């Protein structure tokens, strides 16, 4: 009887132990669900310091036309024989041909072709001898000037013109009877004196023609108007200029060039057209040797939770995974996504060596190399990890999380390329106002912040590039 009882007890203990083991192996995981919450998503204004280039090109033809229209054909007239110490000399000076101007580095080289009429002779009334005979002659020469160009802090073009000699085309000679009088020295002295007067006239006409302050003021104000870059997301570019830089003028042939740099804060915002308070006052000019060229513009990519869930389901749902060198296996029966603050939560249903639900958390991040949305620092939620360490430490320490993180790669290159192309189109010959044309080229992408909403994940990216603005009257 005792022996029989011992056998029954033994079998009972065996069944109990087996049941406990089976129960332990299939114990369901049911960790606390991480709180679903979403921060107030207000995509911040992306404010960056940028420099926008404005090329300045001045046509020398315009300068020539201005000088020639104001300096009439008759430039000088001496109708007195008594002046200049009684030189017995009359003189008239005309422009022989249009004045020509060439630019070389920071200077204008100006040539004034002259035709000169002269009348001179002898006049003697002494000791009963009265001699008076005058003859006329004409000759030609080219007078040269160098005009240094500069722009002062108040945006006034200043030129400093000085004589640079002259050369004879034909020298003056006056014959009276058998006598021949070379007039080159006399005419040369007179022309030399008149060069200073001509230089002042040239300065006045050049400075009047090269009045760039009005165009700079116009461009300064119009540049502050918001520019719509990407209509689907209502992406606006707002330029707030703060400083104006310029390289020294550089002339070559028939053009004078300089580069104007507008140092500005550029703001990229999403939504309604931003309000502006136009600053009408242009700052003093700062001359620099070189001006960098860099602009930052914000791009946006969006992925719905449904699409991100599908990417994970395609990689994991109803697929068997072997872990710890074949000792354990699991199958994912469900996958769901939601937000918890700045983290994305993956809710995964498991069956196999362990059953139940696990929660993983990671921070979304835009990877510029692959132009994809990925998860950083993906790991089990704290409560999930604690329960796994008690019941299935092999899963807590295994490669399941790594595989999940590697699989979460949501391509955004199509969206980004589309946004980049649309913004690029709005940066190509974009007339932002009458006489103001904007051109730019986007290049490098730099990841920005990622935001989680109840319906989607939004990634912001900074696109670096170059922007140039042409202002009518300044740029050719």
pLDDT number for residue 458? 86
Computed over every residue of the chain, the mean pLDDT equals 81
Q: State the burial class of residue 275 (Cβ atoms within 10 Å of its Cβ: 0-12, 13-18, 19+).
A: exposed
pLDDT number for residue 197? 84
Domains of the chain by residue range: 59-209
pLDDT number for residue 146? 94
Contact 298, 266 (CB under 8 A): no
pLDDT greater than 80 at residue 372: yes
pLDDT number for residue 188? 78
Contact 440, 284 (CB under 8 A): no
Arithmetic mean of pLDDT, 363-372: 87
User: Between 12 and 61, whose confidence is greater?
Assistant: 61
Contact 414, 406 (CB under 8 A): no
- Could you read off the pLDDT of 132-184 as tens digits, one per residue? 667 788 889 999 999 998 888 988 888 899 999 899 998 877 776 666 666 77
Which range has the top average pLDDT, 263-267, 382-386, 459-463? 382-386
Is this model's pTM higher than 0.85 or not?
A: no
- Of 93-102, 294-303, 462-471, the one with minimum mean pLDDT is 294-303
Lookup: tokens for 399: 């490669």
pLDDT greater than 70 at residue 83: no
Lookup: tokens for 19: 């049941």
User: Between 193 and 472, whose confidence is greater?
Assistant: 193
Contact 119, 162 (CB under 8 A): no
* Cα angle 177-181-183, degrees, rounded to a multiple of 5: 145
Residues β-bridged to residue 164: none
Query: Can you say how many angstroms the Cα of residue 241 is from the centroid of all Cα atoms in its chain?
Result: 12
pLDDT number for residue 47? 67
pLDDT greater than 70 at residue 315: yes
pLDDT number for residue 354? 92
User: Between 473 and 113, whose confidence is greater?
Assistant: 113
CA gap 139, 43 in Å, rounded: 78
CA gap 470, 424 in Å, rounded: 17
Q: Give Dmax (Cα) for the chain.
A: 186
Lookup: tokens for 342: 């700045």
Arithmetic mean of pLDDT, 291-306: 80
Q: State the burial class of residue 456 (Cβ atoms within 10 Å of its Cβ: 0-12, 13-18, 19+).
A: middle
The band of 86, judged by pLDDT with boundaries at 50, 70 and 90, is: low
pLDDT greater than 50 at residue 329: yes
CA gap 325, 296 in Å, rounded: 50
CA gap 31, 386 in Å, rounded: 9
Contact 235, 253 (CB under 8 A): no
CA gap 471, 443 in Å, rounded: 24
CA gap 467, 262 in Å, rounded: 10
User: Between 25 and 66, whose confidence is greater?
Assistant: 66
The band of 23, judged by pLDDT with boundaries at 50, 70 and 90, is: very low
Residues ≥6 apart with Cβ < 8 Å to 35: 340
- Could you read off the pLDDT of 175-217 as tens digits, one per residue? 766 666 667 777 777 778 888 888 888 888 877 777 778 888 8
Q: Is the dihedral of CA 198, 145, 290, 266 positive or negative?
A: positive
User: Between 18 and 157, whose confidence is greater?
Assistant: 157
CB count in 10 Å sphere of residue 443? 10
pLDDT number for residue 351? 94
The band of 67, judged by pLDDT with boundaries at 50, 70 and 90, is: confident
Arithmetic mean of pLDDT, 67-77: 83
CA gap 168, 182 in Å, rounded: 13
pLDDT greater than 60 at residue 21: no
User: Between 55 and 22, whose confidence is greater?
Assistant: 55
């Amino acid at each position: 009887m005792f022996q029989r009882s011992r056998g029954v007890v033994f079998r009972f203990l065996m069944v109990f132990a087996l049941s406990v083991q089976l129960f332990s192996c299939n114990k369901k995981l049911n960790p606390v669900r991480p709180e679903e919450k979403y921060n107030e998503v207000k995509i911040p204004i992306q404010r960056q310091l940028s420099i926008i280039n404005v090329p300045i090109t001045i046509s020398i033809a315009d300068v020539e036309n201005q000088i020639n229209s104001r300096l009439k054909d008759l430039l000088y007239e001496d109708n007195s024989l008594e002046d200049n110490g009684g030189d017995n000399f009359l003189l008239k000076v005309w422009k022989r041909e249009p004045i020509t101007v060439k630019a070389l580095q920071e200077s204008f080289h100006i040539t004034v072709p002259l035709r000169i009429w002269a009348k001179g002779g002898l006049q003697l009334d002494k000791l009963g001898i009265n001699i008076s005979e005058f003859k006329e002659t004409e000759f030609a020469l080219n007078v040269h000037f160098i005009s240094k160009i500069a722009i002062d802090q108040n945006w006034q073009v200043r030129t400093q013109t000085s004589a640079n000699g002259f050369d004879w085309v034909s020298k003056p000679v006056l014959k009276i009877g058998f006598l021949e009088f070379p007039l080159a020295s006399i005419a040369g002295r007179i022309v030399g004196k008149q060069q200073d007067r001509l230089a002042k006239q040239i300065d006045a006409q050049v400075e009047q023609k090269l009045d760039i302050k009005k165009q700079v003021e116009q461009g300064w104000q119009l540049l502050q108007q918001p520019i719509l870059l990407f209509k689907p997301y209502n992406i606006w570019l707002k330029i707030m200029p703060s400083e104006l830089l310029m390289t020294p003028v550089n002339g070559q042939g028939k053009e004078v060039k300089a580069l104007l740099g507008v140092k500005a804060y550029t703001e990229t915002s999403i939504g309604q057209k931003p309000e502006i308070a136009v600053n009408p006052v242009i700052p003093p000019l700062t001359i620099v040797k070189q001006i960098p060229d860099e602009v930052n513009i914000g791009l946006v990519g969006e992925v719905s939770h449904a699409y991100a869930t599908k990417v994970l389901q395609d990689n994991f749902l109803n697929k068997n995974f072997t872990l710890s060198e074949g000792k354990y296996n699991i199958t994912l029966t469900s996958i769901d996504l939601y937000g918890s603050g700045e983290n994305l939560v993956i809710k995964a249903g498991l069956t196999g060596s362990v059953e139940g639900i696990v929660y993983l958390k990671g921070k979304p991040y835009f990877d510029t190399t692959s132009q994809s949305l990925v998860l950083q620092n993906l790991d089990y939620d704290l409560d999930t990890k604690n329960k796994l360490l008690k019941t299935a430490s092999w899963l807590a320490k295994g490669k399941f999380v790594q595989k999940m993180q590697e699989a979460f790669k949501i391509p955004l290159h199509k969206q980004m390329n589309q946004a980049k192309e649309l913004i690029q189109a709005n940066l190509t010959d974009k007339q932002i106002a009458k006489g103001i044309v904007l051109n730019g080229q986007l290049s490098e992408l730099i990841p920005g912040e990622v935001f989680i909403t109840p319906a989607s994940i939004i990634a912001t990216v900074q696109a670096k590039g170059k922007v140039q603005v042409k202002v009518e009257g300044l740029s050719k």
